[in-house]
A and B are shown apart, each in its own frame.
Chain A
Amino acid sequence: MDRGSHVVFTGGEEKIIRQFSAPEIVLTGLRRLCNIDSGEGQVVEFMGSSSTCRVQRAYIPELGLSNKACDAMTKAEMKEQLLRGVSSLDWRDCPLESQLSDYTLWPGMVVLYELRYYSKADDESV
């Protein structure tokens, strides 16, 4: 039913649940290396988030814990990432450690607050 949507929710010690949606670059990799259908064209919409199309790539902003689309990168952040010199992903082979953390992040779409307890694994309810 959710085939092709490529969305996950994660919860951590901070008691916040975050929603992530796969970026284009990861879908390309899944298609090229693993022959997994990328389900393009699926509109992702949840609780008013206006993410009607997939972003190309995500990054972690200097401040904050939510991954953002690379379109929102400031010039300084862009320069800093370029300076690190991580070679871009061409998906000829599996990604390296540095590429995993620089190129394959998923952008955070929605954050759910107001949890009163530590979140633990509870998939059965969804």
Chain B
Amino acid sequence: MFAVHNLIAVADVRASSIVCTLKAQSGVITSLSSCYLRQSIAVVAASEDGCILVWKHRFSSSITEWRLVEQQLTGLLGAVSSSSSCSLQSTTDAFVVAAADFKGSLLVWHIISGSSDIDEEPSPMTSIQIISKIKFPSAQMAKSIHICELPTGDSRSPPCLTIFIGSVDSRIHIYVAKDGIQLPTNGSRSGSTTEAPSHLELFSCVGILPGHEEWVVCLAAVAIDCRTTMLASGSQDAKIRVWKIKATKVMDAQGSCGNSILEQVTAFDEDDDETDGEQSADIPAAALTDDDNMDESRLQFCYCDDIVYSLFLESLLVGHEDWVTSLQWMPQVSTQSSGSSSSSAQPLRLFSTSMDRNMVVWAPDLTAGGIWVPVVRMGDIGGALGGSIGGNLLGFVAGSISPDCSSVLGVGYGGSFHLWRSVASSDYLDTPDTGTERRWIPVPFLTGHFGSVNDLTWSDRETGEYLVSVSSDQTCRLHAPLTDGGTWREISRPQIHGYDLNCVAKVCYAMLYSTCILSSNALSIMRGCHYYLS
């Protein structure tokens, strides 16, 4: 699923085709986030005009069946810079959405999706409430948001709802719903977005994590056990920081936990980072594997009077040479491979994309004391340097990894897709079988113009064997149907240009000498298309 201008396209990766597009917004979609509910998935799409909509899809229905939740998430005024959503463990079918705009506001909505999972009514009972408003000065504009629940390590305490905000001031701001989230009570199912004034101060800032030297543009968190959460932050300084957040129960709550911010290590040791940064990029450095020592924690904060969260810098990942653009934790899945010696569960891994044309999978090297190292490095560097974006990968602006960890999809600057699939070495023709080792290989995926298509022509007027199109993305592309299946694919890219392309013509030679190709701008662009399609 990806955003295309003001549409959301849902693509089937295995079939390499777009199965449906969802259209409801008028502005360009700037942020997509999703969260899993009990029987459905909710997708939150935020656009440049501040419009935030929720789409829902039931797992039991066809992939093309998506339903728009009628109510909008209103409140933001400017273009949405980032949004995040997470489902709440305490209640089923409820989730929270946090979104920030470029004007410095951050709003958090609490959404109960009602009985929409069961009935097929077109207007599901949905209540949407703004539960918190946070305002930043413009110098602290939020560039990335991640909202999640931190486990408490205690089954009686509800998990701690936390918002991590990566900011343009190069720091990560942490906001916590201090006393647990107070669910909006009954009577609020009016069908419109309502505000609950008493909850607007629900979240309070518990600390700021310095360390990055440029904008923090991506954040990802994952709970690894009942009391520990890992947070990864990627920045335009090309570094990734992995933070560990651990919950500990304080027996005598009154003694040390009066203030929410117990201690913030102010004398931050910047020197550690400088030395790491000077290392060669080929040798990934990971340092600062702090012991679980309270004294070395960067930040501590209290939750529900008796739980203290301690935050450590687990590791500094140096290996990218340009902006880190997206981060995702690999789900921990059981390895179903036949190799009996392989461990039962895949270790914790982190997937990152960067503008240096690389996608990297990081994992802690247990033989080297848990230092994080790149396990796989994928990239695609074809095309002439300095050419147009249609023929040149400038870097990855986003990426995603499939739930079963078998495929990785990177999105290049401009919009190209780069799909890599993990296969057993024996399946890969050029390498000998080396047992259970797996390799990542690039596989073809969706291609298409990145700009408006200005003209197209069939290969010849009788049979129309293939189609040649030109576009404002400065490329000319040839599309033809495959013999197996008949799906249309891009087979060739005849021209990669430095100017926008406006017209294309297939010419028969017998007539050429008596024909004038010169054209004027009085003709509409669509005219040529109609001529051949009608």
The B411-430 residues at the A interface (CB cut-off 8 A) are: 412, 416-418
Which of A14, A85, A105, A118 meets B496, CB within 8 Å? A105
What CA separation (Å) do A29 and B417 show in the bound complex? 21
Contact of A94 with B489 in the complex, beta carbons under 8 Å: yes
Q: Is A22 an interface residue (CB 8 A)?
A: yes
Contacts of B41 in A (CB 8 A): none
The segment from B67-75, B79-87, B116-124, B382-390 that touches chain A is B382-390
Contact of B496 with A12 in the complex, beta carbons under 8 Å: no
Could you list 15 examples of A-B contacts with CB < 8 Å?
A: A7-B507, A10-B494, A10-B505, A26-B478, A36-B465, A59-B384, A85-B381, A93-B443, A95-B491, A97-B382, A100-B490, A120-B503, A121-B519, A122-B527, A126-B505
Contact of B491 with A104 in the complex, beta carbons under 8 Å: yes
Contacts of B390 in A (CB 8 A): 101
Q: Distance (Å) between the CB of B248 and the closest chain A CB? A: 49
Contact of B463 with A3 in the complex, beta carbons under 8 Å: yes
Residues 194-222 of B, flagged 1 when their CB comes within 8 A of A and 0 if not, give 00000000000000000000000000000
Which of B509, B519, B525 meets A125, CB within 8 Å? B519
Q: Distance (Å) between the CB of B466 and the closest chain A CB? A: 6
A-B pairs with the 3 shortest C-beta distances?
A98-B382, A121-B528, A122-B519
The A5-23 residues at the B interface (CB cut-off 8 A) are: 5-14, 17-18, 20, 22
Contact of B517 with A93 in the complex, beta carbons under 8 Å: no
Q: A1-B508, A2-B506, A5-B509 are in contact. Are A34 and B483 (CB under 8 A)?
A: yes
Contacts of A18 in B (CB 8 A): 495
Q: How large is the interface on A (under 10, 10 to 19, 20 to 34, 35 or more residues)?
A: 35 or more
Q: A12-B500, A30-B466, A121-B528 are in contact. Are A22 and B492 (CB under 8 A)?
A: yes
Question: Which label, helix, strand, loop or mixed, suits the secondary structure of the A interface?
Answer: loop
Contact of A46 with B463 in the complex, beta carbons under 8 Å: no
Q: A8-B504, A14-B499, A102-B383 are in contact. Are A123 and B512 (CB under 8 A)?
A: no
What CA separation (Å) do A121 and B454 show in the bound complex? 7
Known: A10-B503, A33-B480, A94-B482. 20 other contacts (CB 8 A): A9-B506, A10-B494, A12-B474, A20-B495, A34-B483, A34-B491, A36-B459, A65-B498, A86-B381, A100-B382, A101-B387, A101-B391, A104-B493, A121-B455, A122-B505, A122-B523, A123-B457, A123-B531, A125-B519, A126-B515
Which of A22, A62, A124 meets B528, CB within 8 Å? A124
Contacts of B442 in A (CB 8 A): 96
Q: What is the interface of chain A, defined by CB distance below 8 A to chain B?
A: 1-3, 5-14, 17-18, 20, 22, 26, 29-30, 33-37, 46, 59-60, 62, 65, 67, 84-86, 93-102, 104-106, 108, 112, 115, 117-126
Q: Is B497 an interface residue (CB 8 A)?
A: yes
What CA separation (Å) do A9 and B524 show in the bound complex? 18
